[in-house]
Every structure is written in structure tokens, then in C-alpha cells.
Chain A
């Protein structure tokens, strides 16, 4: 399973260019700024690296580490040029995303400045940008596949329910919202209670999984006359051993999660058991994607 997901990610990474993925919201400073200026920029914008530019060319970069050292030695009032790393590795915006992915695995850096053909700074790329772009691309492709698979059974526009929910790490308060809506929607459609229950269990388990175990993610519900499809995608950290994760009783939950009544190692096996189709792919450092289908007119 891991192999096929790695392969899919590779294909995606070739299809996308760094330009499509980078953030263009750049915080850069000029040579005559001080370390204190950079510290303020980092603090106010929640970033951990700031390039130093001269006429839009990258001449250096200041990391959080550089700031800490300057702070320790009371040198925050000094110019960035005295402290910056001048040997900056940049990436060209024209390159395929796969180059950025290997750059991150070959270097210890948490970000790369991205430059255009004139070698001017045009963006920044971080692992988070990459994760988000891959997830976006995966969902888009999934929707395409879905449409291709059922061209004759294209449901009437008013009978399709398609909604995405954002889930935040440890936000147990709001987990369950998608499942509640799913339940209401299926009830409205007159789906038999037993099937509704199976669908709601899948959805709830996947919601809780994202909240309890991932850095956050999204859950997308797609309902037509024949099926309910859930796609749960998170931003990592990914599952190193999928076989173990699918085994009942295996859990990596911490004490706090357990105190909330979760983390018994039943989530994924439960979700799989009640689904008609169940697929999971995970890449360490990349994230996890679960796709589950419950047919709405097929009793067990």
C-alpha cells in the first residue's frame, strides 16, 4: 500500500511545478535591516526563516537559529549582513515539485527561497506548502476518477451532497459535526437506519482519527443516490506501519486522548469493518488518506 501511495505522490510531484505550490507571500529584508527587525517579522508572522535581498536577488538568509544566537550575545541591534548565511540554496520556479521534495530530504533546511529565470526572489517553499498542494491535487484527481467511473449514472444535481469539513488537531469539541450532518442528510433521503449507522460510524471514526492523531486535515462527504463516499485527508505525520494500525488494539494515542475515551485501537478497524469499500494510503511526513464507501441501497 505504501508503495502505491509513494508512486502516486511521485506522479503528482512531477505534474506540478514549484511555482504552483510555493507561497508568494514573502517576508524578506534588505541588507540595512537589523537582526531585531527580523525577529519582529518572525514573531508577527509566525515564520522561522527570512531571506535577505538586494535588488530582489537573494544574498543571504536568517533562520530562527541565527536569531537565537544573536539574542544570546545581545547582538540584535546589528545588521543582518553580519549574521546571515550567505551560501543560500535556492530553487527555480520552473522545476517540477519532485525537485523540491528531494531538496528537502537532502538538506536540513525547513524552507527554500524560490527564484525566477532572472534569479529574482518570487516565493518561498516549505514542506507544508507541498503537503497542502499534494492534498489539493489528490482530491481533485479523486473527483475526476469518480466522475469517469460513473458517467452513465450521473445523478441529478439536486440529489448530490458534497461538502468538506476542516478538522483541527485536538479539537474534539468540533469533531463529529460532519457525522451529525451526514446522519441528517441520509435520514432525509430515507436511507435505512442500519446503513445510516454504518456510514456515521465510518465518518465519526475518521473525524476522531484526524483530530486525535494528525496535525489536522479535511474530511469530504459525497453522497448521491447510490453511495456515500468519505475522503479523509490529513497533513501528517503519516502512519509508519499501516498493517499494525489496522489491527484491533494497536494505538499510538497518548494519555490525554485516552482520557477522552479514544485511543483504544479500534478506530480504523471499526471504520473498515462497517465500510463496503475501504482504502488507506499513508506516507510518513506526508500524511494519510482514507477513502471509504458505504452503498446506500445494499444491506449486509
Chain B
């Protein structure tokens, strides 16, 4: 499954300047230190933390995308930071559990 295909899961794409890589799994967490320690390359980060530090942390891990849950949108500065780092941003209308399940199901995990 490619990054761009996340849109098929009913997620709204908030930032589309990214490299369309094969997604290598996901990580669900709101603790950025925990994310930093455990999020791996080309994974998708599922979180409710919709601010610039989330982008910074995802970028450190070379993540493929960030999905904000509960329909949270990103502010303009978050979008531009993500564009600069080439990280896709999506917004899911669902909670974290259901969002994670959707992604996992799609990845066949």
C-alpha cells in the first residue's frame, strides 16, 4: 500500500507534497518521545497531536505520513512544515482505535 492510497480509507489529505512510498506499517501514540523511540522509516503515524512538533518527530523517523484522528485539521504552519519535510498529512474522522484498525486492515497486518 502506497502513501497516496490512505485517501481510499476515507481520510482527507491535508498535505500532498510527499514521496509516494510503500507504507511499512504504522505506529499509534500521542507521546512524542515514545513516537521518536519507536516510529520506524516509511511508517504512518496515527495520533491526535496536530502540531509542528509532531511533524518534526515524524521527520526524524523518516515517516511516510501522519494521520490526525477525530477529524482534527492541521494549521497552516503545520502544513507548511510537513510540505518542507515531504511528509503526507491526513485527517481521519474516526478515533485512534478505529483509524488504526482501518490502516492495519488495509495493510493486511
Contact = CB atoms under 8 A, between A and B. Distances in A.
Contact of A193 (B33, B34, B62): B62
Contacts of B32: 208, 260-262
A266 B41 contact: no
B56 interface: yes
B59 interface: yes
B54 interface: yes
Interface string B38-73: 000100000101011110110111100000000000
B76 interface: no
B83 interface: no
B53 A261 contact: yes
Interface residues of A, number: 22
B52 A261 contact: no
Contacts of A205: 33, 36
B31 interface: yes
Interface in B4-53: 30-37, 41, 47, 49, 51-53
Max chain A CB contacts within 10 Å: which of B37, B51, B54, B62?
B37
Max chain B CB contacts within 10 Å: which of A172, A176, A270?
A176
Given A193-B62, A264-B31, A204 B57 contact: yes
B31 A179 contact: no
A200 interface: yes
A173 interface: yes
Interface in B66-94: 85
B87 to A, nearest CB: 12
Interface string A74-87: 00000000000000
A19 B85 CA distance: 47
Contact of B53 (A176, A264, A273): A176
13 contacts: A172-B53, A175-B56, A180-B56, A183-B59, A183-B60, A193-B41, A197-B62, A201-B37, A201-B60, A261-B32, A261-B54, A262-B53, A264-B31
Given A172-B51, A204-B36, 11 more contacts: A172-B53, A173-B52, A175-B56, A183-B59, A197-B62, A261-B31, A262-B31, A262-B53, A264-B31, A264-B34, A266-B31
